[in-house]
Amino acid sequence: MEIKRGKAFKFGDGISTDHIAPGRLFHLRSNLEEFSKHVLEDADPEFASKMNKGDFVVAGNNFGLGSSREHAPQIIKIAGVGAVIAKSFAIEMR
């Protein structure tokens, strides 16, 4: 069993894909490395500059709700977040 270590950044309920991948920066979708420098910027403007690779996002209910912006989970991973731990995750209903 591998034990992961890192800081935990706490967020509340209802963190949407717009919080994770700000729509005003959607022009960066072809440059996900650059886009990842703005991950969770609308929930915490300093998150990307404070976090280190392997740190954790801890959230409440319904993490990832909203517009189903497919870049949101990609930029979380590219930014180096070790894991997202939430009470519940939004799911896309088709």
For residue 70, is it within any domain? yes
Task: Dump pLDDT digits (tens) for 34-75.
Answer: 999 999 999 999 999 999 999 999 999 999 998 767 899 999
- Which residue has tokens 């990307």? 48
With 0.85 as the threshold, say if the pTM is over it. yes
pLDDT computed for residue 94 by the predictor: 46
Residue, of 63 and 94, whose pLDDT is higher: 63
Could you give the 3-state DSSP secondary structure of residue 32? Answer: helix
For residue 57, is it within any domain? yes
Tally of domains in the chain:
1
pLDDT computed for residue 88 by the predictor: 96
Provide the residue range defining the domain that includes 51. Answer: 8-86
What six digits make up the tokens of 16? 């949407």
Q: Please name the helix (run of DSSP H) or strand (run of DSSP E) that holds residue 10, with its range, or none.
A: strand 8-10
For residue 24, is it within any domain? yes
CATH of the domain at 70: 3.20.19.10
pLDDT computed for residue 92 by the predictor: 56
- Which residue has tokens 């977040």? 81
pLDDT computed for residue 70 by the predictor: 86
For residue 93, is it within any domain? no
